[in-house]
Amino acid sequence: MLLRARLSVSCVVAATIVLTAAAHAQPQRVEPKRPVAGPNVVDVSIFYESLAPYGEWIQLPPWGWVWSPYDVDPDWRPYLLGRWVWTECGWTWISSEPFGWATYHYGRWTYHPYHGWVWVPGYWAGSIWVPGYWSPAA
């Protein structure tokens, strides 16, 4: 019984020391980490030369350099020319456009009022970058 009481007091004292030290510690600034190279991380510089024959690079705030495709119809939009395919990782878009390998699997599309649809390069690869939509069957 005496041993159990001493153990309880020791735990309380240890917890008090740890909590007191933590309360007096100065917060440290932590810099955000850059993406770590891995199977789903890419160097965006590979896109600049590869996509140049199919579109133009434009400097647009707040995104920086974005890419706009050449020779598309005025009503063109991302995910128009191609098909969805089920894979072991989920649904993925298989584009029939020569630039689709990059623009539908890395980065994001956004609409600009003057330039239309532009692609913002990204580091992370993904099989689907569109918001989900559900509609009840008619």
Rounded CA-CA distance 57/67 in Å is 5
Tokens standing for residue 85: 């395919």
Strands in 88-132 per DSSP E: 90-95, 106-112, 116-125
Question: Which helix (H) or strand (E) is 6 found in, with range?
Answer: helix 2-24
pLDDT by residue (tens digit) across 57-81?
A: 999 999 889 999 999 998 999 999 9
| pLDDT value of position 43 | 64
Model pTM?
A: 0.60
pLDDT by residue (tens digit) across 6-31?
A: 545 454 444 445 445 444 444 444 44
| 3 state DSSP class of 133 | coil
Domain positions in the chain are 45-125
Residues, the chain:
138
pLDDT by residue (tens digit) across 38-59?
A: 454 556 678 889 999 999 999 9
Question: Which helix (H) or strand (E) is 60 found in, with range?
Answer: strand 55-60
Classify residue 128 as exposed, middle or buried by CB count within 10 Å of its CB (0-12, 13-18, 19+).
middle
